Amino acid sequence: MNIMHFIGLDIHKKIIAFCVKTKEGIIHSKGVIPATRPALIEWMKTLPQSWTVAMEATLFTGWIYDFLKPHAFEVKVAHPEMLKAITAAKKKNDQSDAQKICDLLRVD
């Protein structure tokens, strides 16, 4: 049985924070990788088979979207204004942002 995993990405110029969860909300993995194609290739090798990913629209989202699209079940990009849960948070960091994006995707 192929279980869908959900991935939230918090993208910056030099790094990408990620959080990978099951549909039940169990964390599969989380961390930070360099924002480079070789780093993404190596990171994708660690992912479960079936995954969908979400990220906030930034200046750096376009190439990452295009790069991940052929490998993902689905790739979604959210408008920053629609992610008020992140911008309103008291404790804001890249890891928590990636986890919140992952949870928003997971609960649709």
CB 72 within 8 A of CB 18: no
C-alpha 100/C-alpha 95 separation (Å) is 9
| Domain covering 4-106 assigned CATH 3.30.2080.10 in the classification | no
d(CA 83, CA 87): 7
* Number of helices and strands in the chain (H, E): 4, 5
pTM of the model: 0.85
Between 1-10, 12-21, 44-53, 80-89, the lowest mean confidence (pLDDT) is in 80-89
What are the structural domain ranges in the chain?
Answer: 4-106
Q: Is 3 left (phi over 0), alpha (psi -120 to 50) or beta?
A: beta
Q: What is the average pLDDT across 22-42?
A: 95
